[in-house]
Structure 1
Amino acid sequence: MIVPHLRRLLRQRSVVRFGSLLLILALFGLALLVVQPDLASAPRLVDRLGPAAPVAAVLVGALLMVALVPRTLITVAWGALFGPLGGAGYTLAAALVAAALGFTVGRMLGRDFVAERVRGRLARLDGWFSRQSVLGVITVRLLPVGGFGLVSYGYGTTGARVVPFLIGSVLASVPSAFGYAAIGAAVADPDEFNWLAVAPASFGLVAAAVLVARWRRAERAHRRRAADTAPD
């Protein structure tokens, strides 16, 4: 009697935690629709912070990504405030922190719920995430499947390993970080715009196409091996 009761209790707790995760995401989504930040005062705030501005940029950028603010918008804004190199660097550092936070929250609140209920194809997909390398994380990050923060939460609910996830998340963010930071810097100072700074963004598109093609070939090879080893 005790064991079934304990199992029911654990399942109920996993449902509550998963519901809390969904509630957090819903509140963040609502905040994106309601909150209107005062962007005009941002340059003055950066000046007042002085040497602490880079640290604030990383922490605030990470919190904004965790709150589901698109990384593209943050990168453009940081490029306008700190220049193309500073904006890209601070955004990448913020992306690392945000990926760690989102993954941790997703793992704590959603992993048990998902692990208890995945069956069939979803179980195979969860297994794929568990075996995923840095290259696999980069592939998913470059696909238009969701915002940076949302993907981080989602990864936490899978069996993915944290180190490949963090490394892949940062590497996948590099091309667009420099490109969008350069665009932001150009908006703030058009005379200083350098088109070569946007080049990494185009490399990111090419890399995405190559990685997706490799992933699809690997999936087809896996299906063929499974079919060959299946009993007659």
Structure 2
Amino acid sequence: MIRAVRRLLRQPSAARFALLVLLIGVCALLLLLTPRPDPAQLPHLADRLGDLAPVAAVLGGALLLVALVPRTFITLAAGAIFGPLEGAAYALGAALVAAAVGFTVGRLLGREFVAERVRGRLARLDGWFARQSVFGVVTVRLLPIAGFGLVSYGYGTTGARVLPFLVGSVIASAPTAFGYAAVGASVSSPGHINWYAAAPASLGLIASVVLISRWWRAERRDAVRPADQRW
């Protein structure tokens, strides 16, 4: 494995970036062609897996996330299989693993190519990613710009630091994780209203508005600041 990574890193940056684009394209194609499972059958998976079910949920969910499967579906499935609280916890575990894998793949395959070519405003944007705190990552994650897996790949190609990225990814995923897991759990218990679904989802919406507002004000302050003090 280590030798394969070393051989990969010796390849030209353009070839590695092309491989990253190809990987994302293949994942997107498979996402379109693969049939969707029946949500009502998902609870039976936990019984068949036994004690390995939580591990399979985290690792399998992470694999699906890096394959560009929407996080909403992963969280709904986890809730249907394990219930609202355990399902949310396993969905967050999958999000953490997927964020680490996607970031690492993007860093190995795309960072050098991007760093060699960013100029002007793109260079300023790359510098902004490099200086990002956990708050900045949460802000980007809450913006409806792309799916979870695609954002992870994209972050890896920037100069972003891995620890704030991972922490911010989990924090941004937490509110909707509990909400969607509760909705998924209602599939296996029809007619049972689960109030776990409402509060976290509402908190996620409020957090999104607050974070976007703060980010917008910070950008306005940078815009009026003298150029020699911005960077």
Answer whether TM exceeds 0.5 for this pair.
yes
Higher helix residue share: 1
The alignment-based identity, stated in percent, is 68
**Given the alignment of the two structures, is residue 91 of structure 1 paired with residue 126 of structure 2, yes or no?**
no
For the 8 Å contact 1:11–1:113, the answer to whether it is kept is: no
**Given the alignment of the two structures, is residue 17 of structure 1 paired with residue 19 of structure 2, yes or no?**
no
**Aligned residue type for 2:122:** L
Distance 2:166 2:224 in 1: 31
Structure 2 residue ranges without an equivalent (≥5): 1-8
Q: Which residue of 1 aligns with 2:34?
A: 35
Query: Displacement of 1:139 after TM fit?
Result: 0.2
Distance 1:209 1:38 in 2: 34
**Given the alignment of the two structures, is residue 150 of structure 1 paired with residue 157 of structure 2, yes or no?**
no
Query: Displacement of 1:38 after TM fit?
Result: 3.9
Residue-by-residue CA offset, 1:65-105 (whole Å, 9 max, x unaligned): 00000000110111111110111000000000000000000
**Aligned residue type for 1:159:** G
Matches within 5 A, 1:1-232: 13-39=12-38, 41-227=41-227
For the 8 Å contact 2:17–2:110, the answer to whether it is kept is: yes
Distance 2:10 2:196 in 1: 54
Distance 1:71 1:229 in 2: 39
Q: Which residue of 2 aligns with 1:4?
A: none
**More displaced 10-residue stretch of structure 1: 112-121 or 220-229:** 220-229
For the 8 Å contact 1:96–1:170, the answer to whether it is kept is: yes
The DSSP-based 3-state class of the residue aligned with 2:160 is coil
Aligned length: 221
Structure 1 residue ranges without an equivalent (≥5): 1-9
User: Normalised by the size of structure 1, how large is the TM-score?
Assistant: 0.90
Which structure would you say has the larger Rg? 1
Distance 2:118 2:153 in 1: 17
The DSSP-based 3-state class of the residue aligned with 1:144 is coil
The DSSP-based 3-state class of the residue aligned with 2:35 is coil
For the 8 Å contact 1:95–1:169, the answer to whether it is kept is: yes
**Aligned residue type for 1:222:** D
For the 8 Å contact 1:180–1:198, the answer to whether it is kept is: no
The DSSP-based 3-state class of the residue aligned with 2:159 is coil
Q: Which residue of 2 aligns with 1:7?
A: none
RMSD of the TM alignment (CA)?
1.8
